[in-house]
Amino acid sequence: MGNESSDVHTILELSLARICTNMGWIGGHAVLVKPAMGERSAVRFINREAEARWREHLETEPMPTMGSSLFQGILRTGEPAWSLQSVRLQNMLTDTQVSGLAFPVIVNDELVAVLEFLSARHETPDDHLQALIQQVCNQVARVFERRRQQEELRQRALYDNLTGLPNR
């Protein structure tokens, strides 16, 4: 995936869509930690089929979100995080668990983005799932690296390295 795109938002949208669709998760979003000037700070994907099935059973709106606590956890630790939230479904006497999962995108030891997902199932990422999503995050990180390298080359071509003044 990382070799298919040079645009950060495109690769994030593609990653979210593929993961959510293949896992049957309701949706996800990616948050850029330090967006460039004028750049969108978040990208969202909703798996409409999974969301429709889920909403048929919900008693209350809106669908639960877990992004802020997971995002803050990754900002602190740089490690994948997940949490559970109880939700009451129609015709059920007990609550069911909804899972929020979040994974860091790291470039040169710097957190650049966080991929977050919402699942209607109780999910506790095992080693296989974590490794799979980490590979996706690594591919996304390559796009961030490529963008940084392109910006650096552009800077070198347009400005003098010693003085920082524009080249003629």
Contact between 158 and 167 (Cβ < 8 Å): yes
Strands 110-119 and 27-32: antiparallel
The verdict on pTM exceeding 0.95 is: no
Task: Report how far residue 24's alpha carbon sits from residue 99's, in angstroms, rounded to the nearest whole number.
Answer: 12
Per-residue pLDDT tens digits of the chain, which is 168 residues long: 545 556 888 888 898 889 988 888 888 888 888 877 667 687 877 777 776 666 665 544 444 444 467 888 888 888 998 887 765 555 555 556 678 888 999 999 999 999 988 887 777 778 898 899 999 999 999 998 988 888 888 888 888 888 888 887
Cβ pair 67, 43 in contact under 8 A: no
